[in-house]
Amino acid sequence: MFLIPSHLLFFSTLVFGTMMAVSSSSWFTAWMGLELNLLSFIPLISSETNQFSSEASLKYFLTQALASAMILLASSAMMAGVMFSYFLLSIALLIKMGAAPFHMWFPMVAEGVGWMQFIILSTIQKVAPMALLSHTTDSSYWMILLVASTSAAVGAVGGINQLMLRKLMAYSSIGHTAWMLSAMLISESLWAVYFGIYCITSSTISLFFFYKQAYHLNHLISSNFQNTPQSCIMFMSLLSLGGLPPFTGFIPKWITIQELSSSSYLFLTFFLITGTLINLYYYLRLALGSFMMSSTMLGWQFLQENKVSWTVVLLIFLNLAGLLVSPVIFLTG
C-alpha cells in the first residue's frame, strides 16, 4: 500500500494530523488535527479493487464528520461556560474511537477495507481521540466507566457469531478499547503501555491474514493454512491477543487488573475479565479451525504465495516475548 506515492503522502499527513491533535494546546487546533487525520484516511480506504471501499469511505466520513461537529459545538459551549460541554466532547471522542455504545460504524467500516487499512483504523486512528479523552477524565469519569463496561460486553458478545475475520477483529478491537479506557482511569502511562502492546499483537494477526489473503473463517481451513509451524504461530499470536498467560498480551492486562483492584474498581474488573474469557473462546475457534479441519474439504485459492514476511516474524517474536518476560516479573515481584 505504501509503495504508491499518493498513499505515502496521505499516510504522512495522517500521522502529522495525529501528532498535531495530540500535542495541541487548544481544542480548536486539536479539531484541526483530527480533520487532517480524517481527510488523509479517506483516500487510503478508497480502492478500485475493493467494491465495498466506497461504502466504507462514506460511512467513515459521515460518522467522523458528525463527531467533529460535536467537538466544535462542545468547544464553543466551553467558552460560554455551559455545563454539558465536557459531556458532549467526551461523546464525540468516543464516537471517533468506536467505543460502545457508539460502535455501530466500526465493524461496518472494517468489513469494507483491506487488512493494511484495518491496521491503521484499529491502531493509529485511536491515538488522537484517546489522548484527548485522557484530558477529560475528571469531568467525564462516570461516562468513561460506563462506556468501558459496555465496550467489554459488546466486544465479547459481538464477535461470537462472526464468520468474517475483519468484523471479528473489529469486535476484538472494541473489547480492547474497554481495557484501554479502564487503564486511562488509572494513569496515562498505563494506557500508553497497554495501547503499545495491543498494537503489536493486533498488527501481528492482521498482517498474517493479509499475507494469507484470509477474509472468511473458512479460509483458515484451506490448504494455504495447512502448514503446522505457521498454524502454531497464528495459534500463539491469537492467545497473546486474548491475554492468556504467559504471552505478551497478558502483561498489560495483568498490570491493569492489579491497579483496578487496588483502586476498588471491582465491578469494572469483573466485566473486563468476563469479556476477555469470551474473546478467548472465539480466538480458540479461529486457531483450532486451522489445526483440526482437513484441507480437502474446501478448495479456496489465494492470491499470493504461501509466504510470511520478516516483518511478521519480528512482530511474532515481540508477541511471544512474554514467555520469557512473565517468569522474570513473577520471580522478581
Q: Are 286 and 221 in contact (CB under 8 A)?
A: no
Instruction: Spell out the residues 6+ positions from residue 81 whose beta carbon is closer than 8 angstroms to its own.
Output: none
Is the pLDDT assigned to residue 116 strictly greater than 70? Answer: yes
Instruction: Spell out the residues 6+ positions from residue 116 whose beta carbon is closer than 8 angstroms to its own.
Output: 1, 210
Closest CA to 99 of 196, 177, 199: 177
153-161 LR contacts (CB < 8 Å, sep 24+): 153/100, 153/271, 153/275, 154/100, 154/101, 154/103, 155/100, 155/275, 155/279, 156/274, 156/275, 156/276, 156/277, 156/278, 156/279, 157/278, 158/107, 159/278, 159/279, 159/282, 160/278, 160/281, 160/282
Alpha carbons 325 and 32: distance in angstroms, whole number? 41
Alpha carbons 231 and 332: distance in angstroms, whole number? 33
Alpha carbons 152 and 315: distance in angstroms, whole number? 26
Whole-number pLDDT of residue 315: 66
Alpha carbons 234 and 319: distance in angstroms, whole number? 11
Q: Which of 23-37, 116-130, 292-306, 308-322 has the lowest mean pLDDT?
A: 292-306
Closest CA to 165 of 213, 94, 99, 231: 213
| Cell numbers placing 38 | 480524517
Q: Is the dihedral of CA 119, 120, 125, 130 positive or negative?
A: positive
Please indicate whether residue 98 or residue 230 has the higher confidence score (pLDDT).
Answer: 98
Closest CA to 315 of 217, 256, 233, 214: 233
Closest CA to 319 of 255, 247, 252: 247
Whole-number pLDDT of residue 295: 46
| Cell numbers placing 271 | 466485566
Tell me the pLDDT tens digit for each residue of 64-101: 999 999 999 998 888 887 778 889 999 999 999 999 89
Map residue 244 onto helix, strand or coil.
coil
Task: Give the start-to-end residue ranges of the domains of the chain.
Answer: 5-332
Whole-number pLDDT of residue 305: 43
Tell me the pLDDT tens digit for each residue of 138-179: 888 899 999 999 999 999 999 888 889 999 999 999 999 999
With bands split at pLDDT 50, 70 and 90, how would you rate the model's confidence at 302? very low
Tell me the pLDDT tens digit for each residue of 49-60: 667 788 899 999
Alpha carbons 316 and 191: distance in angstroms, whole number? 22
| Cell numbers placing 33 | 488535527
Whole-number pLDDT of residue 296: 44
Instruction: Identify the burial level of 226 via C-beta atoms within 10 angstroms of its C-beta, where 0-12 means exposed, 13-18 middle and 19 or more buried.
Output: middle
For residue 113, is it left (φ>0), alpha (ψ between -120 and 50) or beta? Answer: beta
